[in-house]
A = this chain, B = another copy of it.
Amino acid sequence: MTMATWPVAFILSAASSEAMRVPLVMLTIFAAAKLSAEVFERLGISGIVGEIAAGVLVGPSMLAWVAPNELTTSLADLGVMFLLFRVGLEVKPEELLKLGGAATLVAVCGVVVPMIMGWAILRLWGAPQIEAIFVGAAMVATSVGITAQVLAAKGLLQQKSSQIILAAAVIDDVLGLLVLASVSGMAKGQVNVWEIVLTAGLAIAFVVGIAFWGNRAMGKIVPRAQESLRVAEAEYALAVVLLFALSVLAVYIGVAAIVGAFFAGMALAGRVGERVNDLASGAAELLVPFFLVGIGLHVDLSAFQDRSMMLLAAVILVAAVVSKFIGCGVAALGMGKAEAIRIGVGMIPRGEVGMVVAQIGLGMGAISQNIYGVVVFMAVATTVLAPPLLKIAYKGVQGGVPEERYTLG
């Protein structure tokens, strides 16, 4: 180490740069997110889009202040888990189960239409069969985080269309798992039907089991724990343990961690006091900006220097929006045109799930780096488009109490 002329702090450079890292990353991302949200809100655009835009701004594509690293992605993971947990806290499982039939239809159509459209576009573009199938698969899974945040912020979680969206997104995640399993099998030249059936069974058992018995079980466990536990804030501690335990279980089964987090919230809905909601909000308010900024950080504008790639990206984006909108919307037409439009729009964002599928395809050599960039663009762009589209679709709908506890209006 050389002696710098400026303060002795430099003597400690090894230690202090390490000590600096965590608060500096936190400050940069959190402050950029909130500042940008404020600016976007004043421009009449959703603050959620503002936080994603902050990620593009400070990320590798533009200012390059922050690159996605282990800390930021971990905090983003935690952020979206707490977000879905909080949403789950306001959803009654019985009501969700009642909507199961309609939601299943929405989910299935919302899987089939995008899959076929994605595959067809890539085939027309001249891509090999397996690459076309992977892109189709990457267009399947709805990422419900953004939609949930928008609906919660507007106090619309109790709307029937909102509940259909939540239920369909969960079913969609299970279907997406099966699609991915099949596609991965194809890429390796062997589809193991028995395994896929087993996976489907496990995933369905997990989802239905917790939806049916989770809330009832917590109705018995929570009051007893309240009474007998001596650690302070025992209810919150119990809730956090359940949140992570079901997330781990969900990933083990093969569905997304956020599905587990959502079910943990649903299991505790109406079973824990308002204090748990407040404390979970404190964690969520800190962590959710990392999820939103993280989406922006993943944008890589350099992938689009090629004109034909730009064209393909635009076509795929339009297809991603239209296919979910039509697939889910048509399936929901029985509920009336306005509700069908809301549901169609709410299912549009793909977010991180599409990226994970593309990453697996990339790792298997089934898709090229350029096509990977196109899929990531599609995933981010559908996410950014969702908040303003939802605003239009829900225009005039009177929400419940707008939840002050959710960031961003």
Contacts and interface: CB of A to CB of B under 8 A. Distances in A.
B279 A9 contact: no
16 contacts: A3-B190, A8-B195, A8-B254, A14-B360, A19-B77, A19-B356, A22-B77, A23-B251, A30-B237, A30-B240, A30-B241, A47-B230, A70-B71, A232-B409, A279-B282, A283-B285
A12 B8 CA distance: 50
A81 interface: yes
A136 to B, nearest CB: 18
A407 interface: yes
A232 B286 contact: no
Contact of A254 (B14, B16, B26): B16
Interface string A145-168: 000000001000000000000000
Interface residues of A, number: 85
Given A3-B188, A11-B184, A283-B283, 9 more contacts: A9-B199, A20-B251, A20-B252, A22-B78, A27-B244, A153-B232, A232-B404, A232-B409, A240-B286
A185 B10 CA distance: 12
Interface stretch (A31-39, A297-305, A369-377): A31-39
Contacts of A15: 356, 359-360
Contacts of A401: none
A202 interface: yes
A231 interface: yes
Contacts of A408: 231-232
A232 B406 contact: yes
A198 B278 contact: no
A244 B23 contact: yes
Nearest to A69: B70
This protein's copies in its complex:
2
A41 interface: yes
A139 interface: no
A210 interface: no
A233 interface: yes
B256 A27 contact: no
B11 A248 contact: no
A47 to B, nearest CB: 6
A405 interface: yes
A192 interface: yes
A23 B278 contact: no
A257 interface: yes
Contacts of A237: 30, 34, 285, 407
Contact of A30 (B38, B244, B252): B244
Contacts of A20: 248, 251-252
Per CB-CB distance, the 7 closest pairs between chain A and chain B, nearest first, are A282-B282, A279-B282, A27-B244, A23-B247, A9-B254, A8-B181, A8-B199
B19 A230 contact: no
B7 A285 contact: no
A372 to B, nearest CB: 14
Interface in A172-226: 177, 180-181, 184-185, 188, 190, 192, 195-196, 198-199, 202
A307 interface: no
Nearest to A228: B38
A180 B257 CA distance: 45
A24 interface: yes
Nearest to A3: B192
A72 to B, nearest CB: 10
A256 to B, nearest CB: 7
Contact of A409 (B37, B199, B230, B236): B230
Given A232-B153, A279-B282, A254 B42 contact: no
